[in-house]
Structure formats: C-alpha cells, structure tokens
C-alpha cells in the first residue's frame, strides 16, 4: 500500500491525483490532503478520501477546518499554517508526496518532502526553476526518487527509463501546444483578456499555468525544469510546437533512435506513472486512437510574438539567480494580468525589465535565492504601481 500526501489537493493536479488514487483502493491511499485557503473544497475531499491529516496553509482557517471535520464525523486531524504543511510533507505517515501547489509557495513543502526521502511526484515546476540545483541535490542526498508530473517531463522520464537501455542521450525536445494564441500577431495580443488567455485549447489546468501556456512562459519554465531533472545544457534542449498535444516529448539518442511518448492530454496518465512506477496503473484515460486523431504536426515556436520563451532560455543560460528572478517577476505579472491590472503584452515586458534590474549573480544558498525572489517581487510590484505597465 502506498500512502500519498497530496499537496495542492483542491487544484487541477490534485483532482487528477485523487481520481487515480480512488481507482486503486487496495494499492493507494490519500493519507494527507493539503490546500491553500479553500476550506469547503478541502472538507469535501476529506469526506470522500478520509485522510489521516488535512492542512490549510491559511493559519486563520484552522478552526473552520477542525469544526468542519468534526461535523462530518471524520477522524482526520486538522492542521493549519505553512509550518504544519512542511511538517506533514516530511512526516504524516506518507511515503509519497504529490507536490502540486502552484508557484514558489510550493518550494518549502517540496524541499521538505525531498529531504525526508519521499517519492516525490513533482508538479510544482516553479520550485525547480527557483532552486533546481539545491532541490536536486537534497533529493539525491536523501535518496528521494523524483517522478516529474509535467506531461513533457513525465514523457521524457518514460522514454529514459521505460526501454531498458541507459545513457546515450543526444537531445531532448519538449512539445508545446502553442496555447490559445498560436498564430496570432503581437498586435492581436495587445487586447486579449484573462478569460481568453485561460481558455487553453487542449489542457484543463489552473489559472496561473494556463496564462503561462498562453505567453509560452510555461515552455520556458519547462526548459529550466528539464535542465535540472535530466542534466542537459540548454543547447541540447529543443521546443517543438505540436498543436495536437498528443506527442508529449521526444528523446534523441546517439544511435539515431528517437523515442517519443504519446497519449491524450490528461494529467492522470503522468500521475498514474508516478503512483505506480515501475508498474503501470489504470488511470481512467482512454487509449489514444491515432486514426481518429488523423494528423501530428510540428512547427517552430514564434519567439518574436511570444518573448517569454526567449527570456526563460536566456535566464537558464545565465544561470545563478536569473531563473529565480524570472519566476518571481512572472508570478507577479501573471497575477496582475489575471486581476486586470496589466495587459497581456506587459507580462513579458515586466519580466524582461525585472531581469535587467536585478542582474544575475551566483546562487550560493537557499537564503540568497529567497532574498532574490523577494526583491524581484518587490521590483515588479512597484513597476506595476508606477503605472509603467498598463
């Protein structure tokens, strides 16, 4: 029996993870459920999955969670606050942690799970962008196995570990759907709304990653994620726009082979891989019918219309603190865009300006990365407040 802590249980990845877990009651159990502030949604999940522990990050919600669990007649223990979340990521009787909190807010609990040597199903890509070297080193030291829960990286994981052979990787290509604005011009993008940006053509996801997919920052974050997970430098990492979103990634080997992983765009496949590995588990996702799908197309990304991908690549190549600055500025920009405070084209502009204002230096410690993250956020917030990014 695998005991699973689902961090970010009320989100899109959390729902997919719990769906797969519920399909295998004899093998999988949700023992910890964690959410940000939505107590009602967390209570509903507790009623369904009966975990040992439930935790809300918002410390003021402790009483509401405790009383709600009691009213439901559940034995689930209530916890609240960031420290409780980190402690449950490390303890809580689980052997497996689904790290699916959105943004840098997920870093501490992800690190806590890695340090505790858990099997880490890593969806929270921002923690790898912000502190990838440190996180990978902590995981290696503690013997924590990482299974990436990003469709592309999970696909690469399967290509690297599923075929029996080892080594000889030449290049890796991540595919990108191109997002809702593929084929548009910069002029078109000036007036797009948050509603249009979150309407992803292929994937159903939380709002932040949906906007990242529309700006192509998501693919940029994923390049940095791949660099840390698979140890390849940027010159061996490619991006291919593939509008059908059926091929999730491709790995080229020195012998001329190229392996790809295909499947319908549904994150339950990646989660089933992580929850069952090295065994395959039913995920509820239908088999891919290639005749019904018809075509597989590939094209290069448009870096002029979608500069976020270029900015992320530059930050990856610069290394040091640059990816942390990129991530922090992007989180502030996406949140401001979703609130209607800035336009879509201001997202890359704000990221670029913040990167220029906080030049990269060597990332020597977690404390330094946290400091740079905070400074980049302050810089981006005050740039928005100044009215320079309408």
Work out whether 150 is an interface residue with Mg ion (CB under 5 A): yes
Instruction: Identify what 8 binds: Mg ion, ligand NAD, none; CB under 5 to 8 Å per kind.
Output: ligand NAD
Q: What are phi and psi of 251, to 5 degrees?
A: -120, 125
Which residue lies nearer to Mg ion by CB, 109 or 151? 151
- Count of residues that interact with ligand NAD, criterion CB under 6 A: 26
Work out whether 205 is an interface residue with ligand NAD (CB under 6 A): yes
Known binding residue 330? Answer is no
Order of all β-strands in the sheet with 247-253: 237-241, 169-176, 247-253, 258-262
Least gap, CB of 298 to Mg ion (angstroms) = 16
My answer on whether omega of the bond before 109 falls inside 30° of 0, hence cis, is no
Residues between 151 and 180 with contacts to Mg ion, criterion CB under 5 A: 151-152
Q: Find the part of the chain contacting ligand NAD (CB under 6 A) among 88-96, 200-208, 242-250, 380-388.
A: 200-208
Binding test (CB under 6 A) with ligand NAD, winner from 76, 94, 96, 124: 124
Residues between 132 and 191 with contacts to ligand NAD, criterion CB under 6 A: 150
* Pair of tokens at residue 253: 């080997």
Which residue lies nearer to ligand NAD by CB, 267 or 332? 267
Known binding residue 283? Answer is no
Q: Find the part of the chain contacting ligand NAD (CB under 6 A) among 131-139, 172-180, 181-189, 202-210.
A: 202-210
Contact in structure between 284 and 269 (CB atoms under 8 Å): no
H/E segment holding residue 53? strand 53-56
Binding test (CB under 6 A) with ligand NAD, winner from 4, 5, 11, 380: 11
Work out whether 225 is an interface residue with Mg ion (CB under 5 A): no
Going by C-alpha positions, the residue among 64, 158, 148 that lies closest to residue 110 is 148
Alpha carbons within 13 A on the beta-carbon side of 50: 6
CB burial of residue 194 (10 Å; 0-12, 13-18, 19+)? middle
Contact in structure between 273 and 155 (CB atoms under 8 Å): no
Q: How far apart are alpha carbons 304 and 310 in whole angstroms?
A: 9
Q: Which residues bind Mg ion (CB under 5 A)?
A: 150-152
Q: Which residues bind ligand NAD (CB under 6 A)?
A: 8-14, 35-36, 38, 57, 100-102, 105, 123-126, 150, 203, 205-206, 208-209, 267
């Amino acid at each position: 029996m695998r005991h699973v802590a689902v961090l970010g249980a009320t989100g899109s990845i959390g729902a997919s993870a719990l769906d797969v877990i519920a399909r295998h009651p004899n093998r999988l159990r949700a023992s910890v459920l964690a959410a940000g502030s939505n107590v009602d949604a967390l209570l509903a999940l507790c009623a369904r999955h009966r975990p040992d522990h439930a935790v809300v990050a918002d410390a003021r919600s402790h009483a509401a969670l405790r009383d709600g669990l009691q009213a439901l007649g559940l034995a689930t223990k209530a916890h609240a606050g960031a420290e409780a979340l980190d402690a449950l990521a490390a303890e809580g009787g689980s052997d497996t942690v689904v790290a699916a909190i959105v943004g840098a807010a997920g870093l501490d609990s992800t690190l806590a799970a890695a340090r505790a040597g858990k099997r880490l199903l890593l969806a929270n890509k921002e923690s790898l962008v912000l502190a990838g070297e440190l996180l990978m080193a902590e995981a290696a030291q503690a013997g924590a196995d990482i299974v990436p829960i990003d469709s592309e990286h999970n696909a690469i994981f399967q290509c690297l570990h599923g075929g029996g052979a080892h080594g000889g990787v030449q290049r890796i290509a991540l595919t990108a759907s191109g997002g809702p604005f593929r084929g548009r011009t910069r002029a078109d993008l000036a007036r797009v709304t948050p509603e249009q940006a979150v309407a992803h053509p292929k994937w159903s996801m939380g709002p932040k990653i949906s906007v990242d997919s529309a700006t192509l920052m998501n693919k940029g974050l994923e390049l940095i994620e791949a660099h840390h997970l698979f140890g390849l430098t940027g010159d061996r990492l490619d991006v291919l726009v593939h509008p059908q979103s059926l091929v999730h990634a491709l790995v080229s080997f020195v012998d001329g082979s190229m392996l790809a992983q295909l499947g319908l765009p549904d994150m339950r496949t990646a989660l089933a891989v992580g929850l069952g590995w090295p065994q395959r588990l039913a995920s509820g996702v239908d088999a891919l019918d290639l005749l019904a799908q018809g075509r597989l197309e590939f094209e290069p990304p448009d870096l002029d219309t979608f500069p976020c991908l270029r900015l992320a690549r530059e930050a990856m190549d610069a290394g040091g603190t640059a990816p942390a600055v990129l991530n922090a500025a992007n989180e502030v920009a996406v949140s401001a865009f979703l609130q209607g405070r800035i336009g879509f084209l201001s997202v890359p502009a704000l990221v670029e300006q913040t990167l220029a204002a906080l030049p990269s230096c060597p990332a020597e410690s977690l404390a330094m990365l946290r400091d740079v993250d905070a400074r980049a956020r302050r810089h981006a917030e005050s740039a928005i407040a100044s009215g320079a990014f309408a």
